[in-house]
Amino acid sequence: MASNTTEALTASSAVDLRDRLASGAIKAEAVAEACLDRIRSDEERVGAWAWHDPDFVRRQVVALDQYRATGRPLGALHGLPVGLKDIIDTARIPTENGTAIDRGRVPDADAFVVARLKAAGAVIMGKTATTELAYMNPAKTRNPHNPDHTPGGSSSGSAAAVAAGMVPLAVGTQTGGSVIRPAAFCGVTGFKPTFGAIPRTGILRQSQTLDTVGVFGRGPLDVALLADVLFGHAPADPATAPMPAPRLLETAASAPPLAPVFALVKPPGWEKADPDTVAAFDELAAALGEAQCFEVPLPTAFADAGELRRRINFAEMARNYYTYAKAGPAHLSPVLQDALQEGSATLAKDYLAALDWRDVLHAGLSRIFSHADAILTPAAPGPAPADLTTTGDPVFNGLWTFAGTPAVTIPVLTASNGMPMGVQLVGARGNDARLLRTANWLFNWLDHKGS
């Protein structure tokens, strides 16, 4: 395939590709081959994939193009390549959870989200690299914008694959900041929905109170397209509940009845924000104007949210990773060992008390959301650090994961060193569609101002 064709297809949004695939303007084979070209040229530099087989991809697109020729209705993601974080079970395909302990592990069944993707006609491109057991020990992945900088974690491979044009869409998970942070570092859109919106059945469980499935794409409409397919109810996941179809894409693509109002929040840990972040948010608030953006402090309950989230995360991780811990220190990184030891030492009364705070935190946000469409806040303290021994600081992510609120980061800022930075928007629980509409408005507004 000609390089200019590869460039054109891999630079397209998922929504644009979906429309062209549905109309017959392009075939699934053409899109897949463009992505395969990009993987061949950039994978050695980026390291986004834990498992990838071009022949497996080609078998899928041949079947999809044959199906389209029958004239029958197409799935919502027909012919769109999707990357899957390697903690998501895939039948007859390795799922190794980022650890040598699970090397060679091949599940018998697909996770809920994989079954949904296949039913929607998506092309499973492979398994994207993740950190060790989806925690903080960095994976092999490098930031596509500069390989000397971290891509974030733990969904590093998913974010990097989208940023490098290897796939238009990818799936990850967030327990602290594992969707929002890598999306911001890699310059793509990352969406962490309301807790429990997407079933986690068939996905490595680190923390049942916090684990949330999220998605990556180029812009807000892309993540809405993918999340629309994945939202649902699975009886095996008690965090989920029966709900009507969310219509995320339809709402996100619509014009808001009024220009959105943003509440600028400088969360706990603001002193860690670097000068680029502080300057960028001051400029953004000034550009929006006082009528559309006002600064507001978080309720005092949020002061301890980071520590409470950590307590829950580590206590549940110590339980859920017990069999991994039994394998012995030689098989686990020091950073994971320390977390498991801390979790094992947590007292039951302290763990149970921490669980009570999620609803307290969300209730504390009600006053803000009664006056604003979304909270406006950084996705990370700054751009991706030039340090491959870290995945970055999740200080500006974990409190929203803990509160169970939806969050989305959009790639609209650039640091003084040329690296991307994300603007994070947070909405009220259950208001995912409205949040994505607000994010799409800001994404387009800033693009218009910059053009």
The set of residues, in sequence order, having a beta carbon less than 8 Å from that of 291 and lying 6+ positions away, is: 261
Q: What is the pLDDT of residue 284?
A: 97
Q: Cβ(66)–Cβ(58) under 8 Å?
A: no
- What CA–CA distance (Å, rounded) separates 23 from 2? 22
Span 184-199, pLDDT tens digits = 999 999 999 999 999 9
List 155, 178, 192, 207, catalytic entry: 178
Average pLDDT of the residues of the chain: 97
Task: Assess whether pLDDT exceeds 60 at residue 451.
Answer: no
Question: Of 85, 118, 127, 192, which one is the catalytic site residue?
Answer: 85
Nearest-CA neighbor of 65 among 19, 32, 110, 36? 32
Q: What is the pLDDT of residues 151-171, one digit of tens each?
A: 999 999 999 999 999 999 999
| 192 noted as active-site residue | no
Q: Where are the alpha helices (DSSP H) in 105-205?
A: 112-119, 156-163, 180-186
What are the pLDDT digits (tens) for 275-297? 999 999 999 999 999 999 999 99
Q: How confident is the model at residue 69 (pLDDT cuts 50, 70, 90)?
A: very high
Q: What residues are paired with 212 via a beta bridge? A: 174
Average pLDDT over residues 307-321: 98
Q: What is the pLDDT of residue 329?
A: 86
Check if 155 is active-site: no
Percent with pLDDT over 70 in the chain: 99
Closest by CA position to 123, among listed 163, 91, 84: 84
Helix (H) or strand (E) holding 286: helix 275-288
Compute the distance between CA of residue 85 and CA of residue 339 in angstroms, rounded to an integer: 22
Amino acid present at 295: E
Q: What is the DSSP letter of 74?
A: P
Which residue type, as a one-letter code, is found at position 348? A
Q: What is the pTM of this model?
A: 0.98
Whether the per-residue pLDDT at 2 is higher than 60: the answer is no
**Residue (of 186, 237, 180, 164) closest to 398 by Cα position:** 180
Q: What is the pLDDT of residue 380?
A: 98
- How confident is the model at residue 1, as a pLDDT? 40
* Structure confidence by residue, pLDDT tens digits, 96-121: 999 999 999 999 999 999 999 999 99
Residues present in the chain in total = 451
Q: Are 91 and 116 spatial neighbours (Cβ–Cβ below 8 Å)?
A: no
The pLDDT, as a whole number, for residue 14 is 98
Domains of the chain by start residue, with CATH: 1-451 (3.90.1300.10)
Q: Name the burial class of residue 355, with classes exposed (0-12), middle (13-18) and buried (19+) by CB atoms within 10 angstroms of its CB.
A: middle
**Residue 366 annotated as catalytic:** no
What pLDDT, in 10s, does the model give residues 121-141? 999 999 999 999 999 999 999
Please give the pLDDT value at position 328.
82
Q: Is the pLDDT of residue 175 over 60?
A: yes
Please report, rounded to a whole number, the percentage of residues in the chain having pLDDT higher than 90. 95
Whether residue 153 contacts residue 62, with contact meaning beta carbons closer than 8 Å, is answered with no
Tell me which of 27, 127, 154, 192 is the catalytic residue. Answer: 154
Least confident of 81-90, 304-313, 415-424, 441-450: 441-450
